[in-house]
Amino acid sequence: MVNIKPLLGLVCLLSLMSCDQLKSSKVIRLGHGLSTGHSVHQGMVYFGEQLEKISEGKFKVQIYPSQQLGTERQCLELLQIGSLDMTKVSAGVLENFSPSIKVFGIPYMFKDKEHTFRVLDGPIGDELLAGTEKYWLKGLGYYDSGSRSFYTIDRPVEQPNDLEGLKIRVMESQTAIDMVKSFGGSPTPISWGELYTALQQGVVDGAENNPPSFYLSRHYEVCKYYILDEHTVLPDVVLMSTHLWNTLNDQEQKWIQEAMDLSVIEQRRLWSVSEQESLEAVKAAGVQVSYPDKIPFAEMSKTVADQYAKDPLIKSFIDKIKNTQ
């Protein structure tokens, strides 16, 4: 007869070890405002997978998408008091917390995609991320968010003057407000979650965003004109609360940064695919997509750059970005 006592003992030991391992896992709560179909969310899922793998299960990431925990601004505020661990926000919202980030909101700051990544992935990007720490926000990396362009309900925007008098939804971002004003439009801050209804009810005449956001939000169902003037490049910034970051040891911080760096590469790959698919999808849905001459838009919005260049801090970053080859 087989003595099963040793087997039972082994099963109990393994069960206890499993429970101890589960208890020892640190759960990082990550909230953001985008849908689960967005490449940013998918990048965060990848981050969680990589972190769990690199840390051998010592860390797990629990993601709350679609503004479940609040707007981008509210998520940042939760990070500042330590009630939330991580979030992703647009640089346009982050500028309200870390003033140097305003440089991203200046129209036509970047020459092209390659120039953008050289800035974000180099010393300038690192310096801008480091500048958030004094506000209890630890910058971990930049996700691709493409370029932002205007879309309108019932008439195309072919040149800057066509925006005159139009109510255009913007984020809670002073640079976005100033940018729309420079074109003669009427900037109207509305939360992302309320924008579809605002467009549908005619509260605003249009908005501005990148192709995946325009498509995944289904705003194309209301807005039939999309003009790719690509006025601003506002990266998505992934941040952790310093309340959590400062409790981690060097090895744990290294694991998190390594997983984030891997997710940035994956998210940017996913973004590139999503951007093209989104443009094709909105065209198929009957949206008139146009490619205007950007020079008149750049010329008219120069007043925004001139205004912000009066701030020595912003001026220093403007010069650094322009001098990046």
pLDDT of the chain, 325 residues: tens digit per residue? 444 444 344 334 334 434 444 457 899 999 999 999 999 999 999 999 999 999 999 999 999 999 999 999 999 999 999 999 999 999 999 999 999 999 999 999 999 999 999 999 999 999 999 999 999 999 999 999 999 999 999 999 999 999 999 999 999 999 999 999 999 999 999 999 999 999 999 999 999 999 999 999 999 999 999 999 999 999 999 999 999 999 999 999 999 999 999 999 999 999 999 999 999 999 999 999 999 999 999 999 999 999 999 999 999 999 999 999 8
The one-letter code for the residue type at 136 is: W
DSSP, res 82: T
pLDDT of residue 325: 85
Burial 116-138 (b: 16+ CB within 10 A, else e): bbbbbeeebbeebbebbeebbbb
Phi, psi (5° rounding) for residue 78?
Answer: -65, -35
pLDDT of residue 12: 43
Q: How many CB atoms lie within 10 A of CB 193?
A: 13
What CA–CA distance (Å, rounded) separates 136 from 235? 20
Provide the CATH number for the domain formed by 148-233+279-322 in this structure.
3.40.190.170
158-167 contacts, C-beta under 8 A, 24 or more apart: 158/227, 158/290, 158/292, 159/292, 159/293, 159/296, 159/297, 160/184, 160/296, 160/297, 160/300, 160/301, 166/205, 166/206, 167/203, 167/204, 167/205, 167/206
Provide the CATH number for the domain formed by 24-92+110-146+234-275 in this structure.
3.40.190.170
What CA–CA distance (Å, rounded) separates 8 from 96? 59
First to last CA, the chain: 79
Concatenate the DSSP letters of all residues of 219-242 into one string.
GGGT--EEEEEEEE---EEEEEEH
pLDDT of residue 23: 56
pLDDT of residue 134: 97
What CA–CA distance (Å, rounded) separates 65 from 45? 11
Residues of the chain with CATH 3.40.190.170: 24-92+110-146+234-275, 148-233+279-322
Question: In sequence order, which residues have a C-beta less than 8 Å from that of residue 134 and are 6 or more positions away?
Answer: none
pLDDT of residue 43: 98
